[in-house]
Amino acid sequence: MKNNNRKHTGWYVTFFFIAALMAGLFTSCEKVAAAKENPEQMKVFGEMEATLTHPPMVPRPVGNRAPTKLIVNMEVIEKEMEMANGVSYVYWTFDGTVPGTFIRAREGDEIEFHLKNHPDSKLPHNIDLHAVTGPGGGAESSFVAPGREAVFNFKALNPGLYVYHCATAPVGMHVANGMYGLILIEPAGGLPPVDKEYYIMQGDFYTEGNHGDRGLQAFDMQKAIDEKPDYVVFNGSVGALTGDKAIHAEVGETVRLFVGNGGPNLVSSFHVIGEIFDKVYVEGGSQVNENVQTTLIPAGGSAIVEFKVDVPGELVLVDHSIFRAFNKGALGILKVEGKENKRIFSGKVEEKPYNPGAKAPIDGETTGGAIPVEATASTSDKMERGKAIYAQSCLACHQATGSGIPSVFPPLADSDYLNEDVHRAIGAVKFGLTGEITVNGTKYNSVMPPQNLTDEDVANVMTYIYNNWGNNKTEVTPDMVKEVK
């Protein structure tokens, strides 16, 4: 093309200019492509400030932009925040949240990292980014006292999802107080597009009081050394991803979760109840596994999981070391809205008696019209049956005497919530319950899963509860249960 231009000497200047531009573009494209094999050689174009986001949101994808000089500004803030209902904790944070803000960059970017430490901080801090190739992941270079700012540069050589964390001594304590987050280095051309992306990070916390003990809780070093956390949570606190803080998607959408584990101690068995991961970028790297139920996320590690949501409902995010989910807080909700698809999931289509000991009834033997069982069941039968259902379905959470567990599971014994409104209580048992409620003056903001009982059994178990433990002796009938929609 250049040769061609040279023949038309009258247009020489213009053509030369255009040709030079195109040649420039062409070689820059070549460099981008060639850089795949040689990321250190990747040239950067221009300069921009990174947009950082608080969890559970993530910044916009890099798309097909060229590598650039990316300026990251982050601030260390020590502040008191809520860990659970009525429980607070002095967290040490990157940008004021746990986990810290999400950084999204591209392979080949040259990152100019500014770490500021708020003047009100009591301690110096630093940052070790696992995306850094260099001593300490930047820890020494970023070490910064309160009221000061440290700057260092690094080139993002490897694509992947990386943890960053504070590495100031005692390191374990800085991490245990919430000093971690994620940095995503996208490959050239970016990750394939999806409909929804979210940022979730697990962490374990060690408080002087036990789980649920109210008030400001101090860090407990001995429990941390013993690896016996009182709280295991997503995004820094119990309920950070439930109730009106649940994350959302619509039927038919593809969802990508960037999941990290700050630790400091526990490994996460990350699972979404009611979904299968179509893809997992194992350990946040480039290897993709498919059709995975539960993926292991090491402390100081990550995974990217992707799935398409096909039916509506509440998907429950858990650490499948399951006591952590239902007793220590590692539980979140992804609410999927849209049209049902009965072929993919029908819901319960039938429920009938199963009694292997009994004689099979002979057809036509029940003359005079089949009498519904509940019409003949005496109150003592109902209480008997209700007691059995309670033991099987409710006791694990609400406890044998209906006492519940403070701050985790509300009491059913002498419960004002229960006695005030029978229809509301039926609704809780029939459809499950999320969001904040107050029982006997104490706030709960957790999740009770739907119980999948027949209307008759809901009536039985509720009659049992209402006629025990100081409740108001309401008799609940299957018809009352049927009416609650």
Q: Which residues pair with 443 in a beta bridge?
A: 438
Tell me the C-alpha distance between 275 and 196, whole Å: 15
Strand-strand pairing, 254-263 and 196-205: parallel
168 touches, from ligand HEC, Cu ion, none (C-beta below 5 to 8 Å by class): Cu ion
Contact between 389 and Cu ion per CB under 5 A:
no
Tell me the C-alpha distance between 344 and 107, whole Å: 39
Binder of ligand HEC out of 108, 236, 260, 411 (CB under 6 A): 411
Spell out, one character per residue from 307 to 326, where the chain touches ligand HEC: x when CB under 6 A holds, - when not: -------------------x
Question: Any alpha helices (H) in 139-265, and if so which ranges?
Answer: 139-142, 171-176, 221-225
Residue 201 annotated as part of some ligand binding site: no
Which of 85, 97 has the CB closer to ligand HEC? Answer: 85
Contact between 394 and ligand HEC per CB under 6 A:
yes
Q: Which residues pair with 215 in a beta bridge?
A: 87
Tell me the C-alpha distance between 243 and 259, whole Å: 20
56 prior amide bond cis, ω within 30: yes
Contact between 174 and Cu ion per CB under 5 A:
yes
Q: Exposed, middle or buried by CB within 10 Å (0-12, 13-18, 19+), for 402?
A: buried
Contact between 398 and ligand HEC per CB under 6 A:
yes
Radius of gyration of the chain (CA): 29
446 touches, from ligand HEC, Cu ion, none (C-beta below 5 to 8 Å by class): ligand HEC
Residue 320 annotated as part of some ligand binding site: yes
29, 73 contact by CB (below 8 A): no
# residues contacting ligand HEC (CB under 6 A): 30
Distance of closest approach, residue 238 Cβ to ligand HEC, in angstroms: 11
Residue 248 annotated as part of some ligand binding site: no
Distance of closest approach, residue 439 Cβ to ligand HEC, in angstroms: 4
Tell me the C-alpha distance between 316 and 271, whole Å: 8
Which of 15, 206 has the CB closer to Cu ion? Answer: 206
Tell me the C-alpha distance between 423 and 440, whole Å: 18
**Coil, helix or strand at residue 345:** coil
Contact between 396 and ligand HEC per CB under 6 A:
yes
Contact between 83 and ligand HEC per CB under 6 A:
no
Contact between 393 and ligand HEC per CB under 6 A:
yes
207 touches, from ligand HEC, Cu ion, none (C-beta below 5 to 8 Å by class): none
382-389 contacts at long range (C-beta below 8 A, 24 or more positions apart): 382/459, 382/460, 382/463, 382/464, 382/475, 383/460, 383/463, 383/464, 383/467, 385/457, 385/460, 386/460, 386/461, 386/462, 386/463, 386/464, 386/465, 387/464, 389/453, 389/457, 389/460, 389/461, 389/464
Residue 125 annotated as part of some ligand binding site: yes
Contact between 246 and ligand HEC per CB under 6 A:
no
Which amino acid makes up residue 412? L
Tell me the C-alpha distance between 272 and 317, whole Å: 4
Binder of Cu ion out of 173, 179, 182, 305 (CB under 5 A): 179
Spell out, one character per residue from 335 to 374, where the chain touches ligand HEC: x when CB under 6 A holds, - when not: ----------------------------------------
125 touches, from Cu ion, ligand HEC, none (C-beta below 5 to 8 Å by class): Cu ion
Distance of closest approach, residue 242 Cβ to ligand HEC, in angstroms: 9
Distance of closest approach, residue 183 Cβ to ligand HEC, in angstroms: 34
Binder of Cu ion out of 166, 336, 377, 458 (CB under 5 A): 166
Stretch of residues binding ligand HEC (CB under 6 A), selected from 82-90, 179-187, 248-256, 407-415:
407-415
Phi, psi of 206 (to 5 degrees): -125, 110
Task: Provide the 8-state DSSP code for 244.
Answer: G
Residues that bind Cu ion (CB under 5 A): 125, 166, 168, 174, 179
Residues that bind ligand HEC (CB under 6 A): 326, 393-394, 396-398, 409-412, 415, 417-418, 425, 428-429, 433-435, 437, 439, 444-449, 451, 461, 465
